[in-house]
Structure 1
Amino acid sequence: MFFDIAKRIYVSPTAQVTDGTFEFASRWQMTAPQLRAKVSGTSAPFAPYYLPTSPVFDDKGVRLTAVDAGAGTAADFRAAHVRGKLAVVRYDFGNDAELAKAAADAGAKALMLVVPEGFFPWTRWQPEGDRLALPIMRAGSTEGTDLLKRAGKRTTTVEFSGTVKSPYLYDVMQVSQQRVPEKLVYTVSERNSAVVKAAYTRTGASAWGSEQRFGWRPYQEFAWNQYTRDVPVGQQRTEYVTAGDTLWSHTVHHDTVMDRDLALGVGMQDAARTYRPGQHAAEKWFAGPVRPSIPHGVTGWPGSVRNGDTLSLHIPEFTDSQSGHWSFAEASSLGGGVGTGAAVSAVGDPSDVAHAEVYRDGRLVAQSDTGAWGGFEVPAGKAGYRLDLTTARTSADWQFGTGTRTSWTFTSDTAATATLLPLLQVDYSAPVDLRNAVGPRRSHTLGLNVRMPDGLAAPRGVTLKVEASYDDGRTWHTAHTARTARHGGTRFTAAVERPSGVRGDAYVSLRVTAVDAAGNTVRQTVDRAYLHRGPSSGQ
């Protein structure tokens, strides 16, 4: 269920189905309650809702004395002596911003709007946008009227609790086979669920992103009622996901998107998968360096091949440090260029850049402003090729991997059947936190793995050079690299050291060059791959 008003569903039980197969399933998405209220002197349920741009109470909660503030005029607030209290107003769907300001000017701590009879109080809180002057909520007519009556007779307090930054999430697919039971109770446990530690890296100014874990039963082609969810970034969340034969695929966008009533169509995604009961898994989203690469271990990924004299390239513009994550360039919601994914991002963000060029023996033969995705016609015969892919993404909410330049060289000949191209790939493992930063020690160790795309043998005789820049590429310093034993000679570590003249926080740009024994090469530059904190920097 998507809307937080969906507390329960009703379904008629059936007899056991004996002819053919039958299944009843329901999909649930649950986090910690955003807002709960308990009125003194009563145990009756009370469920107010934050207005979309309301400030929120501290997670520790607050207890406020409720007072009747009439229709919410300035005179009403003065007469009710609302200073330091919860002002309860009979709501007529007026100007919420003006009401909030008037209540704040009178010294109220929060404002409760009681909707008229026949109207439901539900609203959907959202993390972005200019905030109202104080916490402001809507309450239903019945419970709100009861609160006003109590407040008129005796001192009445309301204790608020809840959090908009839930430390947990339940992604549940309840399944009943061959019948709808008389009594349907689904208890989430490690016997029917996986526990996923999901870490959402903060990529810039925004403290919130968007995500959805889409779920399908084996017979389904579409994921129903699974629209966009807000998620706080820069923190980890424990997520309980139904195990078994339900197929799941997670998509995460680095900031919030415009329309939460649609399925999330932009952002980093992973391959569809199932989970084992009791399985413990980990996800880390947007950990740098974020750069173009061909994902590893994704079943059904279209290969980058030569078929005849067409290079069919399938290289996403953005992958992070977790194997199997990928995303495409996005188009601005206000117009502009279109990247590979032809997706729309948040309002006002400029369009991403994704430009590819193919050179044959040093001569430009094909290019594209939608990245290295699709068919590129090349002349017949054997020749040396260079594929250049340039990306850029710049906004206040994207401050890492702001520009990349990747060049692959390889030899290719006319192919009678689809033949994989030997495009060397570099995977990275940087010791970054959830702000995409390494600690203040002068040096840190960067892990690197050089590989071929899935389907090709591992490269042999690999040599690697790693360079780092702390001044956005004006000067480069070669890092000491060492080959890691027992990994076929493709895994390396590099000691990246802050130059002596760099004192405070500084972005680290990387330039990596790899060559194998067959002469295939890759040279990849990532601008502002991650942050290196200064010795006195706070976390």
Structure 2
Amino acid sequence: MKVRDRVAVVRRSDSVTPVDQAAAAAAAGARLLLIVNDGAGPLDAWADLAEGAPLPVASVGTDDGRDLLARFRHGGVTTLRVASHPYPVYLYDLLLRHDSSVPRDLTYRPGPDDLARIDVTDRDTRQGVAVDWRNDLSPDETWAVGTPLTQVRAQGSYTTWVTAGPDAVWIEAASLPDLTETGRARSYRLRSSSATTWFAPVQHPRLLGDSVLTLPPSRVGGFISLYGLPAYGDSGGHTGSVFDTGTTVKTALNQGDTLLAEGADQISARVEPGTLAYRLVQDTTRDLPDRPYSTRTHTEWDFRSGHANETALETLPLVQLDYAVVTDLSGKAGRRTELRVAPSHLADVTGSRFRSVTLEVSYDDGATWHRMHPAQGGGDGTRFRLDAPAKAKFVTLRATARDTADNAVSHTVVRAFGLK
């Protein structure tokens, strides 16, 4: 059959995969492959095709496909107008939960009063494809169910509408080929609007205390354990992990001058029952193509811990830091710019206030340091004004925070972001 410069229409087949169908259509010179599904709705051909199919591939459902094939039987020329939208401008993640039994009618027609709007911006420092995905939590918040992965632009924006209300608890995430960022468990108010940004500098060690997908460093009875120390959280308050041989993570737990445990980012140590001061140290390196920022980090957490319940996890009081700086899509900021540093406690850690936040910057990868003076404090963190030298190319940060219980953190992030 001649399909050169035409649309090739095929039925979904158990014996011929979409990969082979696409290869045959491309070899015959087709401009587009249209797969008629024999199941419910259109076929997600992209789930079966490797990235970079040899031609555009689309699908129609059984009913539309039957009507289309009927038109072919009458002969003549059938014209299809095709509009391609490879990346969405909006998404829906909807949740309908029933307790005890499943009703006969499963129709769900949410209106604007039932949803929340989230304006999403992805700001990776290079163009490409990212993946948006979202988990909803079980009513007891002990397990999560994931939604299908949706490809989006790694540098782009879109709007997501989700089921709102206290019974719909979500964990959001976004992934790149070399990085996955995950947010905290949360619900959205009915009719609310919010915004979130993924991947933006400064990428730095960041933990979450309220996510079913990860456990925070904790104490159970006489043991302190780390279940992972994600090292590349972004400016949106997300935790970020890199699974690549181009990265290294080294972690050590100390009590005074005594080394209790060391390893990558999962360690455990038996500790004394009394309340003592501890120090957790993490060093990371990242040497990956086209990743010029956060090439090394050094973090020290000082905290106090005493005997804990033998049957429940007690989150360690590890202070977290978040950063906010305006950069372009390549991760470069103006030479005279403002940087915000905001300390916080993990979920379930209460009872102390922050009493100090400091910042030093370096323009030569940490060889020399400049103490910064806060420009403004407030509920959204402490603001510092940077004035970089004309020849500087990167900004290295060293920030600290301490609370009234003497829990403290010190972050060093080498090449945290670039300069225009």
Aligned partner of 1:99 in structure 2 is 24
Deviations 1:325-362 (A, max 9, x none): 335564xxxxxxxxxxxxxxxxxx43753321123444
> Residues 495, 127 of structure 1: CA spacing in aligned structure 2 closer, same or farther, 3 A cutoff?
farther
2:282 to 389, 394, 397: 389
> Residues 89, 442 of structure 1: CA spacing in aligned structure 2 closer, same or farther, 3 A cutoff?
same
> Does 2:133 correspond to 1:211?
yes
Deviations 1:286-345 (A, max 9, x none): 33222223447779997756677644456732433334x335564xxxxxxxxxxxxxxx
Aligned partner of 2:153 in structure 1 is 232
Aligned partner of 2:382 in structure 1 is 492
TM-score (norm 1): 0.61
C-alpha separation in 2, matches of 1:468 and 1:248: 41
1:358 to 253, 258, 280: 253
Aligned partner of 2:90 in structure 1 is 168
> Residues 223, 148 of structure 1: CA spacing in aligned structure 2 closer, same or farther, 3 A cutoff?
same
Determine helix, strand or coil for the equivalent of 2:27: helix
1:278 CA drift (Å): 1.0
C-alpha separation in 1, matches of 2:40 and 2:340: 58
Q: Residues 422 and 456 of structure 1 are in contact (CA less than 8 Å); yes or no, is this contact kept in structure 2?
A: no
Aligned partner of 1:254 in structure 2 is 175
* Structure 2 unmatched runs, 5+: none
1:474 CA drift (Å): 5.8
User: Where in structure 2 are the equivalents of 1:298-309 lying within 5 Å?
Assistant: none
1:492 CA drift (Å): 2.1
1:163 CA drift (Å): 1.3
Q: Give, as a single letter, the amino acid of the residue that structure 1 aligns with 2:6.
A: L
C-alpha separation in 1, matches of 2:398 and 2:414: 9
C-alpha separation in 1, matches of 2:307 and 2:141: 37
> Does 2:235 correspond to 1:321?
yes
1:269 to 182, 190, 196: 182
2:398 to 492, 511, 518: 511
> Does 2:351 correspond to 1:430?
no
Structure 1 range deviating more: 204-213 or 517-526: 517-526
Number of equivalenced pairs: 405
Larger strand proportion of the pair? 2
Indicate the RMSD between aligned Cα atoms, in angstroms.
4.5
> Does 2:368 correspond to 1:480?
no
Q: Residues 34 and 58 of structure 2 are in contact (CA less than 8 Å); yes or no, is this contact kept in structure 1?
A: yes
> Does 2:46 correspond to 1:125?
yes
1:115 CA drift (Å): 6.5
Q: Give, as a single letter, the amino acid of the residue that structure 1 aligns with 2:337.
A: H
Q: Residues 114 and 145 of structure 1 are in contact (CA less than 8 Å); yes or no, is this contact kept in structure 2?
A: no
C-alpha separation in 1, matches of 2:224 and 2:38: 65
Determine helix, strand or coil for the equivalent of 1:270: strand
> Residues 377, 233 of structure 1: CA spacing in aligned structure 2 closer, same or farther, 3 A cutoff?
same
Structure 1 range deviating more: 218-227 or 384-393: 218-227
Q: Give, as a single letter, the amino acid of the residue that structure 2 aligns with 1:467.
A: V
Structure 1 range deviating more: 359-368 or 221-230: 221-230
- Larger Rg, first or second structure (1 or 2): 1
Aligned partner of 2:359 in structure 1 is 465
TM-score (norm 2): 0.75
> Residues 190, 402 of structure 1: CA spacing in aligned structure 2 closer, same or farther, 3 A cutoff?
farther
Deviations 1:486-535 (A, max 9, x none): 55xx9422223343124xxx554322244678876533122343343x3x
C-alpha separation in 2, matches of 1:430 and 1:123: 39
Q: Residues 353 and 403 of structure 2 are in contact (CA less than 8 Å); yes or no, is this contact kept in structure 1?
A: no
C-alpha separation in 2, matches of 1:127 and 1:241: 27
Q: Residues 252 and 269 of structure 1 are in contact (CA less than 8 Å); yes or no, is this contact kept in structure 2?
A: yes
1:466 CA drift (Å): 2.0
C-alpha separation in 1, matches of 2:188 and 2:40: 42
Q: Give, as a single letter, the amino acid of the residue that structure 2 aligns with 1:194.
A: A
Aligned partner of 1:157 in structure 2 is 79
Q: Residues 164 and 189 of structure 2 are in contact (CA less than 8 Å); yes or no, is this contact kept in structure 1?
A: yes
1:207 CA drift (Å): 1.9
C-alpha separation in 1, matches of 2:381 and 2:43: 54
Aligned partner of 2:164 in structure 1 is 243
> Does 2:418 correspond to 1:523?
no
> Residues 296, 174 of structure 1: CA spacing in aligned structure 2 closer, same or farther, 3 A cutoff?
closer
C-alpha separation in 2, matches of 1:120 and 1:275: 30
Q: Residues 254 and 397 of structure 1 are in contact (CA less than 8 Å); yes or no, is this contact kept in structure 2?
A: no
> Residues 239, 464 of structure 1: CA spacing in aligned structure 2 closer, same or farther, 3 A cutoff?
same
